[in-house]
Amino acid sequence: MDDDLFFSGVTGQAAAVRDGSVTSRDLVAATIERIHRYDGALNAFTVVLGERALDEASARDETPAGERGPLHGVPVAIKEEVDVAGCVTTFGGRANRTPAAQDAEVVRRLRAAGAVVVGKTNMPEFGQVPYTDSGAHGITRNPWDTVRSPGGSSGGSAAAVAAGLVPVAIGGDGGGSIRVPSAACGLFGLKPARGRVTDAPFQHPWWALGTTGPLARSVADSALVYDVIRGALPTDRWHAAEPHTTFAEAAATDPGRLRIGWATRSPAPGVRPHPEHVRAVAATAELLAGLGHDVAEVDPHYPDATAPFLVQYFGAIRRECDMVERRDLLERRTRETARLGAWVRPGAVEWAIRQGEAVARKVNQVFDDVDVLLTPTIAHRPPVAGSVQGLGTVRSLLKSLPASAYAALWNVTGNPAANVPVGFGTDGLPLGVQLVGRRDDETTLLSLAAQVEKAQPWADRRPVL
């Protein structure tokens, strides 16, 4: 099967199945073969479903044309923290042993739209760090340079999509875990607004911090998948306001003339952005001005979000540790994190959520003067893979700060934020910038990101596997 199909994304593969160029079974079979051929060097997958996925694809081929969904026949991968029926939800570790009885609601919606789940992807245990170093499943590597990390915690999902093993993979973002690996691997990754995507069967993943979404090769691919999975349930604690249009329509619509503010100063004190990231922001600002937008440097007056983030972070890890079957099989760092978070009781978490809302009110004042904020996505170039493996909690957090410095604030506030690829650095690895929107306003980000993508295409380059 031609390599072009593997790099054609969700829209390309869905079109190929729809017009009969390929059957779903043949596409899934070729996908599984490709995973077996190339994933040994990447370690993106923890589980490949094989015959089960082929049987599901065969069933898709029997579906009448009038009953086929927008993702019909398309292979997808799911991060280890999301339930897939019949698979153990490991959260990147060894402490769970019993397979999930049913799909998470997001996975159910993907299947209802015609997608075929081909496997699960690697993550660090409980997503504690923005790199994908798992004691249970090993180190995941960046397809652009296997010495380097793909970021995390959705690094398995990012590596799988960047390498053309699957056209899209589901990840999660509690402090940058969709945007950070998207930046490292050259993908479009949107952290949706808080409450946009259901967390069922849970009320929330990481209290007010976490959300779920796709890592994709293009803005259009991401928008299409979001239209399938978005929408909260009554059991969800948070609910986002309904958009005025579909995400796919937004991605296909000119954004009009926007006020765009750019800033390169880090929200995290002491973190300085790499010069190539500063230049990427400046070049993107210049591109946007040339496209007719009103672009100016701004000072967002970032408030300190450390306390509300860390309280919810430690509370979430502690809570997840209490949910596993074999706590004695948790990694040393995870047990240490749980001990350090022993003081985080429900009252402290609720305080942190309220403090996060105070932070949101302050930082969202920047949107009185601009429609979109442009910043770096990460402060550093992707480090060597495995750089935090074996480190304790405090050293891991300190080493992780350059990855999460620009991202985690927007988890605290709940604003949508996206990594948009804008080229490559002198090290040959992708460069990305972050676009941040008003709360519940993913549609503006999608329209603007699609415009940047069209003006400066990036998806034509492929890693050499």
Give the residue numbers marked as catalytic: 79, 153, 177
Give the single-character DSSP code of 367.
Answer: G
Phi, psi of 350 (to 5 degrees): -65, -35
Report yes or no: 159 and 142 within 8 Å, Cβ to Cβ.
Answer: yes
Nearest Cα to Cα of residue 437 among 403, 410, 409, 407: 410
Residue 239 to residues 108, 192, 440: CA-CA distances in angstroms?
A: 19, 12, 10
Report yes or no: 221 and 11 within 8 Å, Cβ to Cβ.
Answer: yes
- Give the span between the Cα atoms of 418 and 436, in whole angstroms: 7
Beta strand ranges found along 341-406 (DSSP E): 372-376
* Cα dihedral: 17, 21, 25, 31 (round 10): -90
Strand-pair partners of 419: 189, 434
Count, residues in the chain: 465
Contacts of 225 (CB under 8 A, 6+ apart): 10, 71, 110, 168, 213, 214, 216
Q: Which two tokens stand for residue 167?
A: 């056209």
- Which secondary-structure segment (H or E) carries 188? strand 188-191
Question: What does the angle CA 320 – CA 326 – CA 327 come to, to the nearest 5 degrees?
Answer: 55
Residue 186 to residues 162, 314, 423: CA-CA distances in angstroms?
A: 7, 30, 8
How do strand 168-173 and strand 211-216 relate by DSSP bridges? antiparallel
